[in-house]
Amino acid sequence: MGICDNRTIIITGAGGGLGRAYALGFAAEGAKVVVNDIRQEAAAKVCEEIEANGGEALANSDDITSVAGASKILEAALGRFNEVHGVVNNAGVCRDKMFATMTEEDWDQVMQVHLRGHFCLANVLTRYWRERSKAGEPVNARIINTSSGAGLQGSIGQSNYSAAKAGILGLTLVQAAELARYGITANAIAPQARTSMTEGVFDEMMKAPEDGGFDSWDPANVAPLVVWLGSSASSHVSGQVFEAKGGWISVADGWRTGPEKDKQERWQPAELTEVVDGLLAEAKPAQKVYGT
């Protein structure tokens, strides 16, 4: 018996890296998995791994960046497994450049895959789950979004990626607040692991230990948290952001109203230097932008 028995989960970008680790992790806990990836052969290979271990999986390469493509993913999942209980929005791309040299195409491609990709599939699924809820059927659904340390604190050379990942955090909070009434939770993860997106940048830092010791950068280390978030056991958790790496898990402490001062009337610009400096002196400093 696994904690995801009789559940069906869609995972995007699941042909390798973190997505593959999630797919294998869910399958090991009894879930039926829709392995979505634009690389059809990679998706099929992950399905073969799952099926070789006695699991059930469906390879899919439909487009996550359009509602039409997302609808096809849902249709395929229902056609094969009759139900969908959760989605892990994992697919992503990087187009790293310093802000001064970033192009419009660099910006748009990252926003398309990350933010629009997160919206389309979750929106299609939410409409499906809402209809079931309104019909009086029990819904115990999960949206698991993927942010990053770049979204939490920023990253030099990744203004597009950082902005997209920060947007996903805001999206997650609103999803959690709006969708609870339908039996849907929404959480986000900020994983740290060795994947194709880190190749060439963090190769030395993230390489596996030569002595055979614990590989803290292995994507499989993040999978248990994601699998738990996709299970029925996590029904009481929503609107949270988790960082994960190796055996380390943290709940991110997000934006909140900090030190304050109210004059009870309009401020004059010349007054604000002293006021703002005083507030900043009381405030807890933000984490430094990665790379500074």
> What's the pLDDT score for residue 116?
96
8-251 architecture in CATH?
A: 3-Layer(aba) Sandwich (3.40)
Beta bridge partner(s), residue 241? 188
Burial 241-255 (b: 16+ CB within 10 A, else e): bbbbbeeeeeebeee
For residue 184, what is the enclosing H or E element? strand 184-191
In 3D, which of 138, 131, 109, 146 has the Cα closest to residue 241? 146
> What's the pLDDT score for residue 180?
98
Q: CA distances (Å), 61 to each of 3, 34, 83, 167, 251, in order? A: 27, 10, 19, 25, 33
Apex 6 CA angle, 225 and 24, nearest 5 = 45
Q: 């990942």: which residue's tokens?
A: 165
> What's the pLDDT score for residue 202?
52
Chain-centroid distance of CA 188 in Å reads: 5
Positions annotated as catalytic residues are 148, 161, 165
Tokens of residue 280, six digits: 């900043």
Residues 6+ apart with CB under 8 A from 73: 10, 34, 36, 60, 62, 64, 121, 124
> What's the pLDDT score for residue 239?
96
CA dist., res. 146 & res. 117, Å (int): 11
Are 40 and 14 in contact by the 8 Å Cβ rule? The answer is no
Q: What is the mean pLDDT of each run of 10 residues along the chain (292 residues)?
A: 95 96 97 97 98 97 97 98 98 92 94 95 98 97 95 89 95 97 97 69 58 80 95 96 92 89 94 94 89 87
